[in-house]
Chain A
Amino acid sequence: MKRCSHIMNSRRPRSPARFGTSLAALAGALALGTALAACGSSSSSNSPSTKSNSDVSTGVKYAQGLVTGGLKEPTAPVPSAAISNMAALKGKTVYYIPVSADVPAFAITAAAMKTALATAGVKLNVCSGNFTPSGFSSCFAQAIGAHAGAIVSDAIPFQITQGLITEASKKSIPVVVTDVNIVSPRPTAANITYISGSNQQYAMAQDWIIADSGGKANVLELEATDSPTSAAGTAEYAIPALKAHCPGCTVTTLKFSSSNEQLLPSEISALLLKHPNINYIFSEYDQYVPGVMQGVQQASATSKVKIVAAAAALSGLQDVKSSTPVKAEIADNQVYNGWIDADEALRLMAGQAAVTYTIPIRLFTSTNIGSVTLSNAAQASGEWFGAFGYQQQFKHLWGVG
């Protein structure tokens, strides 16, 4: 081991003093890092507002009502307007471009969309954005070059791809932009439509926190800053929902990027040390729960902190069942997402107006986790959300079932 450095040796003597000087530079760098720390604050804390007990009680009752409803199997609403001229769409190909096909939720959506479109004789081609702008561009170029019947862009910030969306639109290729926070300015045209992400799941998580804490929660809210949509999930939906109905709650926000996800555990543990009264942590994405759990463990806070996450996958529900600090998870129906993406694409391809949808979500806690099957097959089928009648209703709208 000691010899590793001696292959490139010289005959000059070692100079401890010089090495010490070099290490002094290291100390200087550390001091610089400390000074820089003042430049950026990742957390902010808000004190509870001075509201009366009746305000707290009202908020708790309101939240309890929503939680009770959220635990049940949700309904899956289907539009009323049928699609005409479906025969002309047979043989066309829809390009589905998720931000990354490696995310299990998008794989489920893709499979559901493929099944849905196949009933109408339309093919599906999946092109992964691979989390990179060049990947998005490549997929859009591929779809445009192949004269796709339609393009479905999933969870890709349209601020990055607006030029490509416009180009596709001008070439008469309809574009469905889904799983985004819809803000202006954005590309608009008759053959471009937007489907919002299921933002109500972020509010549902806050409702559960309010109900579970009796209106006295100290919540650490994780805000992923990777995209405008991810940032909005916490900043525009979760935190406002908590503040609106829980005057006795405090909020501490941790902004982080998935590019430094490896630091999430230490950031969590640092905040738990800094704010020892934190007793709830909300993660807008289930995928960050392992990092959150690690941080909670490092701070030896597993017995006092409850974790709640949205965008739940199988692992999150298994955490709930395993009596870990993860006490609640909210999932949206990815299979339903596949069917509405298909429906919207078919409408635009048929030259009809776009419609709006309400994506079913469900809250999972120890109360109802025993009633669902926790397996990859169950997740992929969408059975966690109840009956599949909506699929037949969509087929009926399309005149194929």
Chain B
Amino acid sequence: MPLRATGPRVTDMNVPAKQDDPSSPGGPASQAVDNDVAVAGPPAGRTGGTRHRPGVSAFARDFGTRTAIIWIWVAMIVIYTLLEPGQFFEVSVFQTIFSSQQATVFLALGLLCTVCVGEYVDLSVASLFGLSATIVPVLVVFHGWNVVLACVVAIVATTAFGVVNGALVVFVGVNVIVVTLGSGTLMLGLALWISHLGDVAGMSNSYAGFALHSIFGLQASFYYGVVLVLAFAYILAYTPLGRRMRFVGANAEVARLSGIRVNRIRFGAFVIGALICAVGGVIAALSLGGFDPNSTQSYLFPTFATVFLGMAAIQPGRFNPIGTFIAIYFLATGILGLELLGAAGWISDVFYGGALVIAVTAATLLRRKLV
């Protein structure tokens, strides 16, 4: 992350009405985004407008800010280890932590797709996940379909809802909350309908190996999440598509004036977000041998919690996949530690909710300090 203090922000730029290649290196879009990213370090106003290299202390502060949640995570592990000697700091505990969050990783990354282009409240992600996870066992168990074909149909059908969501929000202009709340409820109803209102199980246990087989002591589903996060982070940081997404998320109108096809980017985010949720649902169904659509909505809060808590890590104040990934396992560690301490269920709710509110408050306060 460059530590620059000067340069115009997106909202201050006199952007040309038309650009040939807004995503090319050095092009207006790239420049705008990069300038907007460059917010760390001493303010220009205090240095008479001259460029200054940040000092060691500024760098240390910045590093501390970006990694603060990781240090808290480490501190939390130390505290739990001291409170639960011989119980918490064990390989099996960390295997459990890192093998337990596949669903949340896929859901959070699915939500992040739309969040990054400025659509912050996609309330349908859990239902997308749940519909996909329900279709697979329904087709395999109730209708005797081939499991691969069932997975493909589940992904296609679920992604189609992402297409509808995107079309209604982007091209028709319906409020995103209304569209995603409505479609999410619709999908939940459909999932309950095709599952006869309840849990569908009975898929062969052999399919579970796709998600559960051990690789270096961790379940394969963990690595699927790692690959997804790294790919997402790479695309966002180093590709023209990623720059366009960031630009649209920062200011859709300026992006449009720069020549970026804003609607196409926003629409694509809904579709890809739905695709990621659908794949996550398929993996969950295979690992469990079925799915209970009644549990769908329970995935929603953790998804939003981790995405927003992710703003507190790596790129403070900004939604980012690496930060989200860290937040997921940060929360998983905290909750498992509390449960090992014998905490009742309400303690976990206090932890989850409290951590989210405080982290988002911290991120909001930071936003006010930006630039």
Across-interface contacts of B202 in A (CB, < 8 A): 315, 318-319, 321-322, 374
Across-interface contacts of B42 in A (CB, < 8 A): 13
* A6 contacts partner chain B, Cβ-Cβ < 8 Å: yes
Tell me whether B334 and A42 are in contact (CB under 8 A). Answer: no
In the docked arrangement, what's the CA distance between A293 and B291, Å?
11
Tell me whether A300 and B205 are in contact (CB under 8 A). Answer: no
Known: A29-B354, A30-B355, A263-B335. A12 touches B368 (CB 8 A): yes
Summarize B's interface: helix, strand, loop or mixed.
helix
Tell me whether A22 and B33 are in contact (CB under 8 A). Answer: no
Tell me whether A315 and B33 are in contact (CB under 8 A). Answer: no
Across-interface contacts of A37 in B (CB, < 8 A): 338, 341-343, 347
Tell me whether B349 and A260 are in contact (CB under 8 A). Answer: yes
Across-interface contacts of B92 in A (CB, < 8 A): 273, 276, 299-300
Binary flags per residue of A330-367, CB closer than 8 Å to B gives 1, else 0? 00000000000000000000000000000000000000
* B279 contacts partner chain A, Cβ-Cβ < 8 Å: no
* A294 contacts partner chain B, Cβ-Cβ < 8 Å: yes
* B125 contacts partner chain A, Cβ-Cβ < 8 Å: no
List which A16-42 residues lie within 8 A (CB) of chain B.
16-20, 22-23, 25-27, 29-34, 36-42
A324 to chain B, nearest CB (A): 6
Tell me whether A26 and B347 are in contact (CB under 8 A). Answer: no
Across-interface contacts of B345 in A (CB, < 8 A): 42, 255-257, 260, 263, 267
* B238 contacts partner chain A, Cβ-Cβ < 8 Å: no
Tell me whether B251 and A7 are in contact (CB under 8 A). Answer: yes
Known: A27-B75, A315-B200. A1 touches B116 (CB 8 A): yes
B286 to chain A, nearest CB (A): 12
* B43 contacts partner chain A, Cβ-Cβ < 8 Å: yes
The residue in chain A whose Cβ has the minimal distance to the Cβ of B76 is A30
Tell me whether B358 and A29 are in contact (CB under 8 A). Answer: yes
* A9 contacts partner chain B, Cβ-Cβ < 8 Å: yes
Known: A30-B76, A103-B197, A273-B87. A2 touches B336 (CB 8 A): no
Across-interface contacts of B368 in A (CB, < 8 A): 10, 12
B116 to chain A, nearest CB (A): 4
List which A257-292 residues lie within 8 A (CB) of chain B.
257, 260-263, 265-267, 269-271, 273-274, 276, 286-287, 289-291
Tell me whether B363 and A40 are in contact (CB under 8 A). Answer: no
Tell me whether A14 and B39 are in contact (CB under 8 A). Answer: yes
Summarize A's interface: helix, strand, loop or mixed.
helix
Known: A298-B100, A300-B92. A1 touches B246 (CB 8 A): yes
In the docked arrangement, what's the CA distance between A265 and B40, Å?
41
Determine which of A33, A43, A274 lies in contact with B350 in the assembled complex, contact meaning CB atoms within 8 Å: A33
Contact-residue bracket for chain B = 35 or more
* B302 contacts partner chain A, Cβ-Cβ < 8 Å: yes
A62 to chain B, nearest CB (A): 31
* A316 contacts partner chain B, Cβ-Cβ < 8 Å: yes
Determine which of A10, A22, A33 lies in contact with B362 in the assembled complex, contact meaning CB atoms within 8 Å: A22
Give the most central of A9, A104, A291: most B CB within 10 Å. A9
The residue in chain B whose Cβ has the minimal distance to the Cβ of A290 is B292
Across-interface contacts of A300 in B (CB, < 8 A): 92, 95-96, 99, 214, 219
The residue in chain A whose Cβ has the minimal distance to the Cβ of B32 is A3
Tell me whether B199 and A313 are in contact (CB under 8 A). Answer: yes
Across-interface contacts of A38 in B (CB, < 8 A): 341
Across-interface contacts of B250 in A (CB, < 8 A): 2-4, 6-7
Tell me whether B294 and A287 are in contact (CB under 8 A). Answer: yes
Known: A273-B90, A290-B199. A3 touches B96 (CB 8 A): no
Across-interface contacts of B342 in A (CB, < 8 A): 37, 40-43, 274
* B198 contacts partner chain A, Cβ-Cβ < 8 Å: yes
In the docked arrangement, what's the CA distance between A226 and B202, Å?
28
Across-interface contacts of B79 in A (CB, < 8 A): 31, 34
The residue in chain B whose Cβ has the minimal distance to the Cβ of A299 is B96
Tell me whether B338 and A33 are in contact (CB under 8 A). Answer: yes
Tell me whether A1 and B320 are in contact (CB under 8 A). Answer: yes
* A376 contacts partner chain B, Cβ-Cβ < 8 Å: yes
Tell me whether A26 and B302 are in contact (CB under 8 A). Answer: no
The residue in chain B whose Cβ has the minimal distance to the Cβ of A102 is B197
Tell me whether B288 and A294 are in contact (CB under 8 A). Answer: yes
Across-interface contacts of A6 in B (CB, < 8 A): 9-11, 36, 250-251, 367, 370-371
Across-interface contacts of B51 in A (CB, < 8 A): none
List which B153-200 residues lie within 8 A (CB) of chain A.
192, 196-200
* A5 contacts partner chain B, Cβ-Cβ < 8 Å: yes
Tell me whether B336 and A270 are in contact (CB under 8 A). Answer: yes
The residue in chain A whose Cβ has the minimal distance to the Cβ of B361 is A22
In the docked arrangement, what's the CA distance between A297 and B204, Å?
15
Tell me whether A23 and B100 are in contact (CB under 8 A). Answer: no
* B247 contacts partner chain A, Cβ-Cβ < 8 Å: yes
* B111 contacts partner chain A, Cβ-Cβ < 8 Å: no
Known: A2-B320, A27-B75. A14 touches B64 (CB 8 A): no
List which B63-105 residues lie within 8 A (CB) of chain A.
64-65, 68-69, 72, 75-76, 79-80, 83, 87, 90, 92-93, 95-96, 99-100
* B128 contacts partner chain A, Cβ-Cβ < 8 Å: no
Known: A23-B69, A34-B83. A269 touches B370 (CB 8 A): no
Tell me whether A5 and B346 are in contact (CB under 8 A). Answer: no
Tell me whether B347 and A274 are in contact (CB under 8 A). Answer: no
Across-interface contacts of A51 in B (CB, < 8 A): none
* A15 contacts partner chain B, Cβ-Cβ < 8 Å: yes
In the docked arrangement, what's the CA distance between A102 and B191, Å?
12
Top 10 closest A-B pairs, CB basis? A3-B250, A318-B202, A22-B362, A40-B344, A262-B298, A270-B339, A37-B343, A16-B65, A16-B61, A315-B201
A-B contact pairs, 12 of them (CB 8 A): A10-B368, A10-B371, A17-B61, A18-B366, A19-B362, A33-B347, A34-B338, A34-B341, A256-B345, A260-B348, A290-B295, A318-B201
